[in-house]
Amino acid sequence: MTAPEKRILCSTGTMVGRENNFNYTRAVDVIRSMRDRGLIFGGELMMLRHYYDKKEEITSYIKASGVPFPVIHCEKGVGTDLSHAGYLASVKDYMGEERLLEQVMDTFRLNCSFGESIGASMMVLHLWGGEDSDSNISYNCTVLQDLFSIAYSHGIRLLIENVPSTTNDPLSNWHLAVDAHPGIGLIFDSRFATLHDQVSETLSDPLVRYNLCHVHISDFVGGYRNFAALRPILHPGDGVVDFELISRLLNEVGYRGTVTLESPVMNGADIDTELLERSVRFIAEKL
């Protein structure tokens, strides 16, 4: 039997922003149209704070669309707040740490509940981020077991992304995370790996190859640790990311999982669907 092709997803984050009042319905409609025409397999929901009071509404809309959403991206503030809780612990502000950590866990539970309601089986998490970045990554890893267990109770596999790092590097942080909890999965982001010049090193690492569950695709024009070049987020083929190398390394390990386009296509309140489809076709051709 021929192995199935990689399943291409499109993130709702490519089409949702303040300019269109965080209109998720248009994003789901465009994703459904591309799925109906055989361009993609489904969607990845980018979780936003603006969605927390719309769980039933959003869940109903996604289910009615008939589009599978196998992946949910945990709200990025969870990783930022978790990292800051680590900072508070490092300066012995234990009351502040306790309050913030409790808030983090409550928000994470809500994200997991949201993911379960839309049928997601995987969740992308930034285990570090924000101003504190990975300066307290060891602290973050101490709560990884609790995070994994919460996600698991909702039928979701927790995946840790190779988020840009200011203290160590994404690959080293991945090793720390897997050591802390061998059951977690990993999600490879092409832009973040290129920022740290770690594409080949990362995708050749036996631990990564064994635990790799998902891939994010976007591009950028910066060099090593040029954080200022992370935005604007470019479309694949418009920057310096070596997609030929990524494709070869993924194929070497026989990766047949999900791949999500993350490059935004918003032009004010409008959506550039032609650009979106061009990038989806690029992924299908290259990967």
What does the pLDDT look like over 246-282, one tens digit per residue?
Answer: 999 999 999 999 999 999 999 988 999 999 999 999 9
Q: Which residue has the tokens 């995946």?
A: 159
Q: How big, in percent rounded to 5, are the helix, strand and coil portions of the chain?
A: 50, 15, 35
Distance CA 118, CA 105 (A): 20
Q: Which residue has the tokens 């969607």?
A: 43
Per-residue confidence (pLDDT) for residue 6, from 0 to 100? 73
pTM of this structure: 0.96
Closest of 17, 7, 77 to residue 264, by C-alpha: 17
Q: Which residue has the tokens 């047949």?
A: 256
β-pairing, 266-267 with 270-271? antiparallel
Which CA distances in Å does 128 have to 43, 82, 109, 139, 162? 24, 7, 17, 10, 9
Say how far residue 137 (Cα) sits from the centre of its chain.
18
Instruction: Inform me whether the pLDDT recorded for 5 exceeds 70.
Output: no
Helix (H, G, I), strand (E, B) or coil at 204: coil
Instruction: Inform me whether the pLDDT recorded for 29 exceeds 70.
Output: yes
* Mean of the per-residue pLDDT values of the chain: 96
The amino acid at 226: N
